[in-house]
Amino acid sequence: MKRKIINIASYLYALLFLYTGIAKLLDQDTFKQALYKSPLPTRLTPVFAIGIPLLELLVAFALLLPFFRTAPLSRKRGLYVGTALMAIFTLYIGYMLKFEHGHLPCSCGGIISKMNWHQHLYFNSCFTLLGLLAIWVNNRQLKTDQQHLLFS
């Protein structure tokens, strides 16, 4: 059961980040426009416009790599970075809902950009919780594996 939780979370995060990363790269103009309209410093927009989708793709590959060869460290790092990224996105949405009134620009890309901001907050919150659960289960599993190695 523990492995299933880790695998499901890894697959879902990988699919989400592959999808959103590719969508943002394919529609760079729309993504940049949304970033310019956000409260982020505009001088950082070009860095975010390339950096965010590339980071999303990197996380997706880190999470998928263990399915093709043994790479537990890759998955652990992917889960940590992916969950942190999702938490940052969730906090950003919470900030926008709380303090930005009027038009709220969405820079997500693809079908996810069709969600309203409250739906997006719930979606990201669920993914953040899933990531935290997977990290917790993965760390417990790694400790159990290490203990078996010590006593065998």
For the cut 70, the answer to whether the pLDDT of residue 55 exceeds it is yes
Average pLDDT of every residue of the chain: 87
Instruction: Specify whether the CB–CB gap between 86 and 14 falls below 8 A.
Output: no
Residue 91: which pLDDT band, with cuts at 50, 70 and 90? very high
Tell me which amino acid residue 92 is: Y
pLDDT at 74: 86
Report how far residue 57's alpha carbon sits from residue 31's, in angstroms, rounded to the nearest whole number.
16
